[in-house]
Amino acid sequence: MHTGMESPRGIWWKPAHKAEKVWVLIAFGWCMVLFAMMPLWHLKGAQNPSGIRYRVDPNDYARRTAEFIRTYKTGEDGGIPVVEPPPGSDVYLLGRMWSWQPVLKLRKGVQYTLHLSSLDVNHGFSLTPVNLNFQVVPGYDYGLRIVPTQAGDFRIVCNEFCGIQHHAMVGRIIVVDDSAAAAPQPSTGGGQ
């Protein structure tokens, strides 16, 4: 009778079967391929951003954002300032419980340095529907060199749980196409 007290009779201490060795080698080889893909994809894939990170005091960041809004504000959208920064400028976006400040109006094909940071807890910057995702961390200024390639009215959805109103934390980025703006447009964002 099998009581479970004696050692099981088995063959696990015998040398591995050839097929098992082959699979271990294949798995290891694949690990190496994936490992190499991390730096390769960073350089070739144009997907992983090379961000600029600085430590920043959240209050300093809030001041910088306020200054940025004062300088380039062109309107308001539901109580949130709409800001139209000039090409090549530093653009500040502040995440906090539970809003994104300000609404950004950018131009297609123009480079900006987009700064992301939070005033309180971790938030997630998720640009929809293009599916760009970045962490927004208090105490860190994450600078991204961006060139909008697509005109449209985009939403920033918070994808990091940040409290009771997390689901309502939605911001807005409007990208206008300057070449198309030469002719009068029926609607350029703004009130709706």
Q: Which residues bind ligand CUA (CB under 6 A)?
A: 98, 123, 158, 160-162, 166, 169
* Nearest Cα to Cα of residue 83 among 59, 99, 117, 107: 107
- Minimum CB distance to ligand CUA, residue 182 (Å): 38
- For residue 111, give both structure tokens: 């480079």
User: Which C-beta is closer to ligand CUA: that of 158 or that of 176?
Assistant: 158
Rounded Cα distance between 147 and 155, Å, is 17
User: Which C-beta is closer to ligand CUA: that of 110 or that of 119?
Assistant: 119
Rounded Cα distance between 94 and 96, Å, is 7
- Minimum CB distance to ligand CUA, residue 123 (Å): 4
Residue 37 CB coordination number (10 Å): 12
- Minimum CB distance to ligand CUA, residue 189 (Å): 23
User: Which C-beta is closer to ligand CUA: that of 137 or that of 169?
Assistant: 169
User: Which C-beta is closer to ligand CUA: that of 106 or that of 158?
Assistant: 158
Rounded Cα distance between 79 and 91, Å, is 19
- Minimum CB distance to ligand CUA, residue 129 (Å): 18
